[in-house]
Amino acid sequence: MIKLTPILLAILYAVAMYRVSVWRTGRELDSKSTELADPKLKRLTDRLAVALDLARIPVYIYEIDPVNGLAAPDGRIFITRGFYRKFQNGDVTGEELSSVIAHELGHVALGHSRRRMIDFSGQNALRTALMMILGRFIPFVGAWIANILTTLLAAGLSRSDEYEADAYAAALLTKAGIGVEPQKSLFRKLDALTQQRAGMAPAWLMSHPKTEQRIAALEKLEARWTAPS
């Protein structure tokens, strides 16, 4: 029992950290967001809602500048003010913005947003727990291995999440009659934006795999869906 105590403490610490960060994120989002009321976008999100058999899909504006979309652990979808401004300026079309909403819906539907919370805020706790466990069996090197394992796990998880959310969005957009094209054109636009301002990649793109690979994955899906059976 005594030998297990540090491990139990590490697990308790991880659970507590997770709870606190979910609560903190929720509070931050509540204080800096309002529900989006844009007739043109609503027409598009209503089409997604019909495809999903839902009454409507509420989307919230998060009052920050970086171009980003996010899915909160409670399942709410947020578009940043910066991203919405790009739509208002005509840099991004409504269909393209709805592809972001579809992608974030994918993260919610597939349960990624909760897991991601663990990625972001529980990584340290996981590292601590692994260090304690590994450190018992492999002195000195254990901590180093724990570090690498945690980083690899987090990176691998988030990359596969992105491809899964893209595929979900592609299916949903196809069903809603919007199609996959806006998804691809948005990737290209955001990529061009990144080239223009070297090192100033839009946040939404930064947390995601390489644009070309994402477009290629979408085209593979399209080919499969349109192939005669």
Residue whose CB is less far from Zn ion, 96 or 162: 162
* 186 within 8 A of 173, measured Cβ to Cβ: no
Stretch that binds Zn ion, among 44-52, 80-88, 161-169, 194-202 (CB under 5 A): 161-169
Contacts of 117 (CB under 8 A, 6+ apart): 18, 21, 22, 25, 73
Residue whose CB is less far from Zn ion, 99 or 150: 99
Residue whose CB is less far from Zn ion, 85 or 159: 159
Report, in Å, the least distance between residue 85 CB and Zn ion. 20
Report, in Å, the least distance between residue 109 CB and Zn ion. 12
Contacts of 220 (CB under 8 A, 6+ apart): none
Residue whose CB is less far from Zn ion, 165 or 201: 165
Report, in Å, the least distance between residue 190 CB and Zn ion. 12
Report, in Å, the least distance between residue 217 CB and Zn ion. 13
Beta strand 33-35 with 69-71 is unpaired
Report, in Å, the least distance between residue 206 CB and Zn ion. 11
CA atoms within 13 A on the CB side of 84: 20
3-state secondary structure 122-162: HHHHHHHHHHHHHHHHCCCHHHHHHHHHHHHHHHHHHHHHH
The dihedrals phi and psi of 189, each to the nearest 5 degrees, come to -60, -45
Report, in Å, the least distance between residue 187 CB and Zn ion. 12
Site mask, Zn ion, residues 119-158, x = CB under 5 A? ----------------------------------------
Q: How far apart are CA 115 and CA 207, in angstroms?
A: 15
**Number of residues this chain uses to bind Zn ion (CB under 5 A):** 2
**DSSP label at residue 78:** E
Stretch that binds Zn ion, among 40-48, 56-64, 134-142, 160-168 (CB under 5 A): 160-168
Site mask, Zn ion, residues 167-196, x = CB under 5 A? ------------------------------
Q: Give the alpha-carbon dihedral of 217, 200, 194, 150, to 10 degrees.
A: -20
> Where along the sequence are the contacts to Zn ion (CB under 5 A)?
162, 165
